[in-house]
A = this chain, B = another copy of it.
Amino acid sequence: VTDRMVRVGLLGCGVVGSSVLRLLEAHAEDLLRRAGSRFEVARVAVRDPQRPRDVPQPTRGFTGDPSVLVGDPEIDVVIETMGGIEPARSLLLDALGAGKPVVTANKELLASHGAELFRSAGEHGGSLHFEAAVGGGIPLIRPLTESLAAERVSRFLGIVNGTTNYVLTRMTEDGMSFGDALEDAQRLGYAERDPADDLEGYDAAAKCAILASLAFNTEVRASDVYREGIARVSPEDVAFADRLGYVVKLLAVAELEDGDIAARVHPAMISREHPLAAVRDSFNAVFVHGPSVGELMFYGRGAGGEPTAVAVLGDLVAASRSLDRATAFRSPWYADRRIRPMEAMEAQFYLLLDVVDRPGVLAKIAGAFGDNKVSIKSVWQEGTGEDALIVLITHRANEGALQQTVRDLRAFDVVLEVRSVMRVEDKG
């Protein structure tokens, strides 16, 4: 297997674009092993090419003229992270017209001019990759289009906007008003100064349109999606929802009904037991129904420079495979790593001990932990007399040390039984 060199042209160098440059450099070796390609960023088009930027430098420099980059025959793949309709649309049509694979993170463009871009990719033997346009680093587009090629999706429900989900989470969990929660979100950088695009559901509607168009294999534009924002959700609604067993979420819902598509974005109550109800703060998730697979959910960070850049680079690998059709299969196993024995691992532990109810017992038990350098986080006694139990949670401890502690405890006559030892996954 010979390595290929893939030359990349990058349009835009904002939050996502600069993360793309950094990750490409940091993960060059991994990408070579995984994709069989070396990626060289040849040119980056930016508004002001003179401005100093703290990013890995493109081999042929920054340019203020994106059309030069798109037309350059030495550039194999074009990545677009500029956003907005124009000039992104014209530039990508030029790149696709030249048969180049294109990777884009541009939700707005796809939700309004997707058909035109798909047509051009098909006509000129190029390809169009847009995992990063919906759901940041959450793999959604590839699972929907490839993994579910043999499924007919009937319906999906998504939480696809992090700002509104953060605001609704604060209203639900802290009883905040909409205004206070929004201020909180702005303070933390989860909401823009002008948050209308998020709060009124425009962002979610564009994402809903893209997902619906893929799930149902037809063009759906952002303007086809019914839309209501969250500004009218009151603390009262949130409280009633709670009493009824629901949580209020801004949902993007699309379904096939008698062959028609219904697509909408609006606040809705959803059962507390539904997996989407557990999607808190600025996280996103999409819940997919199909007659064969049943229910699927994809969850993660729906925005941010690095998660989105990971999605862009996953697409770059796919685009590079489409360039060179003779790429051989690569084993995903190439690293040399040791498997750590269980005794060397660390965890938090819960223990349940059946003990004799007598003064000094707790001190003796605590001593066994201390002797083995296992630190206790909390401990208490349940019941009295013959029913006396001690419940313990440790801080993170070495597995071997904990096992030794358990052996020591078993040897104590005041410990009638070590009833349970269980790990506690507090790292999440």
Contacts and interface: CB of A to CB of B under 8 A. Distances in A.
A240 B237 CA distance: 33
Given A300-B294, A313-B149, A332-B145, A261 B337 contact: yes
Nearest to A273: B280
B137 A260 contact: no
A426 to B, nearest CB: 7
A310 B151 contact: yes
A137 B267 contact: no
A337 B260 contact: yes
A400 to B, nearest CB: 12
A186 interface: no
A127 interface: yes
Interface in A285-308: 285, 287, 289-301, 304, 306-307
A191 to B, nearest CB: 19
Contact of A147 (B244, B311, B428): B311
A142 B146 contact: yes
A244 B351 CA distance: 13
Chain A interface, >50% SS class: mixed
A214 interface: yes
Given A218-B337, A293-B137, A337-B261, A428 B274 contact: yes
Contacts of A275: 275, 278-279, 299
Contacts of A253: 425
A314 interface: yes
A317 interface: yes
A233 B421 CA distance: 9
Given A118-B333, A150-B30, A23 B310 contact: no
A263 B338 CA distance: 11
Contacts of A224: 339
Interface stretch (A176-184, A323-331, A355-363): A323-331
Interface residues of A, number: 138
A340 B226 CA distance: 10
Contacts of A241: 350
A301 B295 contact: yes
A422 B248 contact: yes
A38 interface: no
B297 A334 contact: no
A380 B138 CA distance: 42
Contact of A293 (B216, B257, B290, B310): B310
Contacts of A263: 339
A317 to B, nearest CB: 5
A125 B299 contact: no
A366 interface: no
Given A122-B328, A125-B329, A147-B314, A335 B268 contact: no
A194 to B, nearest CB: 26
A127 to B, nearest CB: 4
B137 A426 contact: no
A218 B352 contact: no
A310 B224 CA distance: 30
Contacts of A298: 296-299
A425 B268 contact: yes
A301 B151 CA distance: 14
A114 interface: yes
A262 interface: yes
28 contacts: A24-B150, A31-B149, A34-B145, A34-B217, A119-B331, A121-B331, A137-B293, A143-B143, A147-B310, A147-B311, A150-B313, A217-B334, A218-B333, A218-B335, A226-B345, A236-B352, A237-B422, A241-B350, A257-B340, A270-B425, A275-B278, A285-B297, A293-B306, A294-B304, A294-B306, A295-B300, A299-B299, A325-B325
The 10 closest A-B pairs by CB, nearest first: A325-B325, A150-B313, A139-B147, A137-B293, A297-B299, A278-B278, A139-B143, A118-B331, A296-B300, A226-B342
